[in-house]
């Protein structure tokens, strides 16, 4: 028995979708890390700009709030600028983001839950085992 070969355009599309999801996660992770660093810098800068006599617990709360607000709004801005790629099966249109237990499940699947399309790069068949 031979396994049916997956169409080359489908294979290329599946790999392109998986790569787009990986790039998105990597880019978003770097952006959130940068915004966290920016929040820390804003907080520390605000803390050390003030006179030592003015530094108290109220000032500490304000500085922490300012740093967290920088991170929060930067994260929202990053989510708006870096849109999550469309991850629908090229064969059946099944939305891979709606299924599974986490956002990275589709990257480890062997086949599409909707139609059985093979999602691995090293195997040519699209039948479920």
How far apart (Å, rounded) are the C-alpha atoms in residues 66 and 35? 12
Q: Is 100 left (phi over 0), alpha (psi -120 to 50) or beta?
A: left
Closest by CA position to 59, among listed 50, 68, 70: 50
- Minimum mean pLDDT among 15-24, 48-57, 65-74, 89-98: which range? 89-98
Q: How far apart are CA 52 and CA 83, in angstroms?
A: 43
Q: How do residues 109-125 score in pLDDT, each as one tens digit?
A: 788 877 877 777 654 44
- Going by C-alpha positions, the residue among 86, 43, 85, 83 that lies closest to residue 65 is 43
Bridge-partner residues for 5, per DSSP?
none
Task: Say how far residue 88 (Cα) sits from the centre of its chain.
Answer: 16
What is the pTM for the complete model shown?
A: 0.71
pLDDT digits (tens, 9 = 90+) for 79-116: 899 888 888 888 888 887 776 555 557 777 788 877 87
CB 6 within 8 A of CB 124: yes
| pLDDT, average across residues 36-51 | 93
Rounded to a whole number of angstroms, the distance between the first and last alpha carbons of the chain is: 13
Q: Rounded mean pLDDT of the chain?
A: 81
For residue 88, what is the DSSP state?
A: B
- Return the bridge partners of 88, or none: 95
């Amino acid at each position: 028995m031979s396994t049916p070969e997956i169409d080359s355009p489908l294979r290329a599309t599946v790999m392109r979708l998986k790569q787009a999801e990986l790039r998105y996660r990597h880019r978003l992770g770097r952006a959130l890390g940068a915004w966290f660093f920016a929040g820390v810098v804003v907080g520390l800068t605000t803390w050390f700009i003030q006179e030592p006599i003015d530094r108290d617990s109220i000032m500490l709360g304000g500085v922490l709030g300012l740093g967290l607000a920088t991170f929060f709004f930067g994260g929202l801005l990053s989510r708006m600028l870096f849109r999550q790629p469309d991850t629908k099966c090229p064969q059946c249109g099944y939305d891979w983001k709606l299924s599974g237990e986490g956002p990275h499940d589709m990257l480890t699947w062997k086949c599409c839950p909707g139609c059985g399309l093979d999602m691995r790069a090293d195997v040519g068949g699209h039948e479920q085992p």
